[in-house]
Amino acid sequence: MREKKVVAVIMEGPSDEAALGSVLKEHYSSNEVQFVVVHGDITSDDYVSMDNVISRINDLIAGVKLKYGYKPEDFQQIIHLADTDGVFTEDSAVVQADVDRIMYYEDRMETKNVDAAIRRNKKKAEILFKLSKTGKVNGVRYRIYFNSCNLEHVLYNELADFSDQEKSDMADDFADQYEGKLEEFIAFIASEDLAVPGTYSETWSYIKKDYHSLERNSNMHLIFM
């Protein structure tokens, strides 16, 4: 039996880990924190559906078990961080534009292919809703927390099409700002500018309404409460 329980944190990219890794490790200092970087968004992956998303998450955790020799009973919880990407808005918020990839604004998203974006929104919204109602994965406590419209929007108040290098640079600066300052980070992430009030379930009900999944909102503060 391991002395420390494992907290697995599923993240979309390396910049997410760079920005939040140190504060999460400080918060869970009595646990072993293992970051599972997907290098993409499993909730909008072409090969992921409502039917197989739980098994996909289980596969990710199985990889951690195999790598470190963990047993199922070693895990305390699974934390999953996901961008909302505006997927809960009405179809009318998806606007035709001459752009190379989807561009996000707090009242709309612009795309070259409106129909494809609407299909993406519907599928990802259904998957996020299912995951928000999933309490356990293979017997381990599971919670998914959202950043709207994305992590950069929440942490840096910037809604733009950043390059991977720009994301990395911003993440490093953010990590440096809060290194060893967990309480300051919690005050930031729980501020009225960002934090959706209410219970876990209530925050998910909120993000599904109106333009909230495009606006600057998060329920990550609940991780630290």
In a domain, 108, yes or no: no
In a domain, 95, yes or no: no
* Antiparallel, parallel or unpaired: β 108-111 and 6-11: unpaired
In a domain, 176, yes or no: yes
Residue 96, Cβ density class (10 Å: 0-12 exposed, 13-18 middle, ≥19 buried):
exposed
Residue at token pair 């329920």: 219
> Residue 94: what pLDDT?
98
In a domain, 45, yes or no: yes
Nearest to 61 by CA among 44, 50, 74, 47: 74
Q: What is the pLDDT of residues 48-79, one digit of tens each?
A: 999 999 999 999 999 999 999 999 999 999 99
Helix, strand, or coil (residue 8): strand
Helix, strand, or coil (residue 54): helix
Name the residue range of residue 195's domain.
Answer: 6-86+126-224
Amino acid of residue 117? A
Q: What is the pLDDT of residues 104-159, one digit of tens each?
A: 999 999 999 999 999 999 999 999 999 999 999 999 999 999 999 999 999 999 99
In a domain, 46, yes or no: yes
Q: How many domains does the chain have?
A: 1
Query: Is residue 7 a contact partner of residue 76, using CB atoms and an 8 Å limit?
Result: yes
In a domain, 105, yes or no: no
In a domain, 205, yes or no: yes
In a domain, 113, yes or no: no
> Residue 1: what pLDDT?
59
Is residue 40 very low, low, confident or very high in pLDDT (cuts 50, 70, 90)? confident
Q: What is the pLDDT of residues 187-201, one digit of tens each?
A: 999 999 999 999 999
What pTM value is reported for the model? 0.96
Helix, strand, or coil (residue 50): coil
What's the Rg (C-alpha) of the chain?
Answer: 17
